[in-house]
Amino acid sequence: MTTFRMPADEAEARAVQDALRTRVVLDEPGPPPGTGRVTGVDVAYDDERDVVVAAAVVLDAATLDVVAESTARGRVTFPYVPGLLAFREIPTVLAALEALPADPGLVVCDGYGRAHPRRFGLASHLGVLTGLPVIGVAKNPFTFRYREPGPERGDFSPLLDGDEEVGRALRTQHATKPVFVSVGHRTGLDNACAHTLALARDFRQPETTRRADALCRAALREAVA
């Protein structure tokens, strides 16, 4: 795992993104959906106390049963800047991943990978630093445009920046809002969407995200109590 160094300011953070982006691997398909392990990561903040808590939850990809979980607590040491949110989250997310007693397998972020202004969102950043296959599954399209996909589970449409497809709007449940899937590292877009559908059996969000969100919120409540 590559050592993370916090940039001094926004300009340095953008330079770090531009430099690390060249190390993103886009020509690997990634592990088959429904096999091995998948890990959800998420964070929760208490901005008044400058506290951030990250959670990592490992699931069996076939059964979606929890295999292992961990949390980590840190301080918010980088300001809120759209496009640079990874620098607020990555140190604590890395600590949560390192605390896991099991191999995480594929990692699913509640955020973006290639669907980012510099094509280097949290999922890409985390993948480069850890070497793990990572995808991003976000709740909104950030700054990009898309046509509404069909109403059925599995329907999708390209998430576009100009003519470039940076991800997909994917319908995971009938007539619900789509989620926005993008490649992070060492996984193709078709496979990322297949993983998302396999993990979103009953709800709009992947089970990895749902479990990690619940765990980090509970850990934050405990941390600030």
Q: CA 167, CA 183: separation in Å to the nearest integer?
A: 7
Among 179, 108, 107, 171, CA closest to 141: 179
Which two three-digit tokens encode residue 187? Answer: 């996984």
Across the 225 residues of the chain, what is the mean pLDDT of every consecutive 10-residue run? 80 95 96 96 92 97 97 92 93 96 96 96 97 97 96 97 97 96 98 98 97 97 89
Give, for 108, the enclosing helix (H) or strand (E). Answer: strand 106-109
pLDDT of residue 118: 94
Q: Are 31 and 136 in contact (CB under 8 A)?
A: no
pLDDT of residue 4: 79
Among 97, 95, 92, CA closest to 39: 97
Say what the pTM is.
0.95
Q: In Å, how far are 2, 32, 122 from 103, measured between CA atoms?
A: 17, 16, 20
DSSP string, 9-63: SHHHHHHHHHHHHTT---S---SPTTSSEEEEEEEEEETTTTEEEEEEEEEETTT
pLDDT of residue 2: 59
Q: Are 159 and 168 in contact (CB under 8 A)?
A: yes
For the chain, percent of residues with pLDDT exceeding 70: 99
Tokens 């920046």, residue located: 161
Which two three-digit tokens encode residue 73? Answer: 């607590």
Q: CA 202, CA 183: separation in Å to the nearest integer?
A: 23
Q: CA 125, CA 177: separation in Å to the nearest integer?
A: 27
Q: CA 174, CA 39: separation in Å to the nearest integer?
A: 25
pLDDT of residue 129: 96
pLDDT of residue 1: 52
